Structure 1
Amino acid sequence: MSASGRTLPPFPTDDVTLHMLERAIDTTADARDNGEFTLPQLLDFLANYDPARSVDTGDRIDGIPVFDHPDQIYSESDVIRSLIATVRGLRANESEKL
């Protein structure tokens, strides 16, 4: 990520986002016509990804241009980290009640 890009907050784990995430896991690229997101599309959407901000690095891999994006984009690892943090927080809260 470029130093000039924005940094995203931790991946959200509210009920609406979790529902969207659950749906995206089961969605194929063919189902996009129904307004469903695939997981990569959902992560881009939640990060407000704008492909117009991508910059051609001038590099090529097998003739295909390599682009850099100045803003952070959510990854599957970000989702997993947030879910782990949420579960740990819930467990800590529950053990305090005992």
Structure 2
Amino acid sequence: MVKREILSSDGSLMLVKVHLAEGFVGDVDQHPEEQISYIEKGKVEFEVNGEKRILAEGDKQYIPSNVVHQVKVLEECVILDIFTPIRKDLVDQT
């Protein structure tokens, strides 16, 4: 289960709150926007450009532009994602 809530999309920055269920495995993703993910709750494994890291509450992950990445949820989590510029594909989904 994935639930996204766009909290802000002003100027060239976008803030998105993402709720993910335990056991969720995201698609391999790649996009031109830079991204910072802050783990508000839970535990996830981020794979960024082939490197895996386990992140828990309070940790963050930077994802450069056009870098392949994927998330696996180890414990139900809430992630705050910041993108620049705004991800038009996410805005169009709402």
Task: Provide the TM-score with structure 2 as the length reference.
Answer: 0.26
The structure that has the greater radius of gyration is 1
User: Which structure shows the higher helix fraction?
Assistant: 1
User: Which structure shows the higher strand fraction?
Assistant: 2
